[in-house]
Structure 1
Amino acid sequence: MSLVEEAPGYLQVFSDGSVERLAPEIVPASLESTNGYTSKDVIIDSSKPVTGRLFLPRIASSGSINKLPVIVYFHGGGFCIGSTTWAGYHHFLGDLSTASQSIVLSVDYRLAPENRLPIAYEDCYSSLDWLARQVGSEPWLEQADLSRMFLSGDSAGGNIVHHVAIKSIQNNSCHIIKIKGLLPIHPYFGSEQRTEKEKAEGAAEEVASNDMFWRLSIPEGLNRDYYGCNFQKAELSATEWSQFPAVVVFVAGLDFLKERGVMYAEFLRKKGVKMVRLVETEGESHVFHVFYPESEATRLLQQQMIEFMKSS
């Protein structure tokens, strides 16, 4: 048995198909209020399994009668790693719940390469169905306003945001839920056509890493022009594009994926999406908010997210 793919410190894939994931610091959910929020883990679909972590801000849990918006968040990790339990995600989303006075559902979808795309899209879309079913019975959702739902996620999670939004438009099956806006953070896209940044001198290591994650996550036998990787392959009518929610695309100035994020925003504008914003955090790297959830840049990102939610 030999090592065939590796993301040092995070992932090892072996020749027999076995996978070892090396998790960073994790945080358990807690019913005790921490920094203004409580959290608990939920089962979204036990048969797959798909789980999630709910965050409830203190004002909501103390009896406020106001309905609260809902943020559904999909973690990053190249579709192959990541979890709601990772400390960076837990602290970032708990603080976002408090600052935005929103209920947050962070989703643990099944990971590649054991579960290749489009499984992550299906799992994450099922979280919307779960919310619609649970809103009348789950005590933590008593104040949830599903007509003010926002989808967010970073890296691969930002990619998932796009595809869950498309799936919700195409299905048009749940009248309870209204997706008011999308907030992809440093979204992870690609294509067979290399960008200028990817062709530049010194980019080989970053390109190889991105290619590895795509190789592990897209269906076997397909390339990076698979619709899940290349957003330009989306098959939506003009009418469907007109129904696409408002979008704010967050990019980071030092992020190797910044170019793809800018291209994504431009693509949506050309498709006639009603509101598309592009917000850059200068001097920061890919998913800095996960590595530094209490940094000044992360606080600014959270405030920008809140401002977008209020305007949508």
Structure 2
Amino acid sequence: MWSARAAGILLYIMVLSLLSGISGMASDNNPVIYDYSPYFLVYKDGSVKRLKAEEQTPAGLDPLTNVDSKDIRISADVSAHIYLPPININSNSTKLSLILYFRGGGFCIFSSASPIVHRHLNGLTAVSSSIILSVDYRRAPEHHIPVQYDDCWAALEWVASHRSDAGTILLDPYFWGKNLTASEKTADPVLRKKLDQLWGMICPESTAGNDDPRVNPLAAGAPSLADLGCTRMLLCTSEKDAMRDRALMYYEALTKGSEWRGTAELYEAAGEDHEFYLNHPDSNSTAKLRARIAAFLT
């Protein structure tokens, strides 16, 4: 039979466990103001509750592609996965493209170690024979904009300090705006609502809302596209993506409505939806997308 002391300790542990559970729950004074299920909840007091443990794939040799990867530290706050293609990179005659990769997920979800991201980058590295640096910026909503932009810029500066030649930036952009496009209006209503609320959640101090130039590069007051520092650009979208029209509008503004002197190309995956290359890594459409990116690098 348990002693009174043991019973007291058990009761103390149970109370602590109960209080811990209560602290992560909504109340009348601290309601949920943003429900991004199944990933996280944001409460009125600014606290965040992640709803599930995230599966992580460790860096290392991938047996399917022979791509090798490892973790590196860029700064105290920024880390990355670096992917090396299955060729002799020590050969003096071998010159590889470098892709600086900023993943999608609305700045809120996924990491380089997320299985779907890791698998995609293993495949892209193998097909393109490129070195890929996948940046792990600090995530919202725990960290608000501009932290993510600052972290990505720190990664770009780190790459520039280690390489003199021009590389390639592969960006999964999140573009939005106050006025919905046709593709956004026909999107799943639940997804559309979450996307429409997303910017206000990750950048609560913004006064322009969804027409903030940091999320809508075509909004009033946005920097001139003529000032883009690159000379070539490949924009990729998919036919059924809710954000498809944003990509088309950006392409049109870039090629017909600006004084940018570079060359832009547009690729659209027929019949595919948002992030199909992550959800269907072995599909023909994903293979075509990777091949198109690889061709752009040559």
Q: 1:146, 1:11 → 2: CA distance?
A: 41
Q: 2:118, 2:205 → 1: CA distance?
A: 33
Match of 1:28 among 58, 76, 82: 58
Secondary structure (helix, strand or coil) at the match of 1:123 reads helix
The amino acid of 1:124's aligned partner reads C
Name the larger-Rg structure.
2
Aligned to 2:191: 206
Aligned to 1:129: 157
Q: Is the 8 A contact 2:200 2:206 kept in 1?
A: no
- Does residue 1:279 correspond to 2:267, yes or no? yes
Aligned to 1:66: 94
Write the mapping of 1:108-123 to structure 2, written as runs, cut at 5 A: 108-123=136-151
Secondary structure (helix, strand or coil) at the match of 2:296 reads helix
Q: Is the 8 A contact 1:29 1:53 kept in 2?
A: yes
Q: Is the 8 A contact 1:51 1:107 kept in 2?
A: yes
Q: Is the 8 A contact 1:189 1:230 kept in 2?
A: yes
Q: 1:62, 1:285 → 2: CA distance?
A: 39
Q: Is the 8 A contact 1:80 1:213 kept in 2?
A: no
Q: Is the 8 A contact 2:62 2:122 kept in 1?
A: no
Secondary structure (helix, strand or coil) at the match of 1:59 reads coil
Q: Is the 8 A contact 1:189 1:229 kept in 2?
A: yes
Consecutive unaligned residues of structure 1, counting only runs of 5 or more, are: 136-144, 159-187
Aligned to 2:35: 6
Aligned to 2:210: 224
Higher relative contact order (CA 8 A, sep 6+): 1
Aligned to 2:117: 89
Consecutive unaligned residues of structure 2, counting only runs of 5 or more, are: 1-24, 27-31
Q: 2:53, 2:267 → 1: CA distance?
A: 30
Q: 1:25, 1:294 → 2: CA distance?
A: 20
Aligned to 1:153: 171
The amino acid of 1:127's aligned partner reads A
C-alpha RMSD over aligned residues:
2.2
1:87 deviates by 0.9
Aligned residues: 263
What is the identity percentage for the equivalent residue pairs of Structure 1 and Structure 2? 33
Q: Deviations over 1:36-57 (max 9, x none)?
A: 21000111111xx111000001
Q: Is the 8 A contact 1:11 1:81 kept in 2?
A: no
Q: 1:248, 1:29 → 2: CA distance?
A: 28
Q: Deviations over 1:220-278 (max 9, x none)?
A: 2421111111111422374x24x433111111111111111111111111213321111
Q: Is the 8 A contact 1:92 1:293 kept in 2?
A: yes
1:204 deviates by 3.5
User: Where has structure 1 moved over 6 Å in runs of 4 or more?
Assistant: none
Write the mapping of 1:154-303 to structure 2, written as runs, cut at 5 A: 154=172, 158=173, 188-199=174-185, 204-222=189-207, 223-232=209-218, 233-236=221-224, 238=226, 240-241=227-228, 243-269=229-255, 270-273=257-260, 274-303=262-291
Q: 2:168, 2:248 → 1: CA distance?
A: 21
- Describe the shift of the 1:193–1:237 C-alpha distance in structure 2 as closer, same or farther (beyond 3 A): closer
Q: Deviations over 1:67-110 (max 9, x none)?
A: 21100000111111121111111111112112111110000001
The amino acid of 1:216's aligned partner reads M
- Describe the shift of the 1:38–1:247 C-alpha distance in structure 2 as closer, same or farther (beyond 3 A): same
Q: 2:42, 2:141 → 1: CA distance?
A: 9
- Describe the shift of the 1:209–1:32 C-alpha distance in structure 2 as closer, same or farther (beyond 3 A): closer
Secondary structure (helix, strand or coil) at the match of 1:104 reads strand
Secondary structure (helix, strand or coil) at the match of 1:5 reads strand
Q: Is the 8 A contact 1:74 1:107 kept in 2?
A: yes
Q: 1:226, 1:197 → 2: CA distance?
A: 20
Q: 1:93, 1:199 → 2: CA distance?
A: 31
Q: 1:117, 1:245 → 2: CA distance?
A: 27
Q: 1:194, 1:237 → 2: CA distance?
A: 22
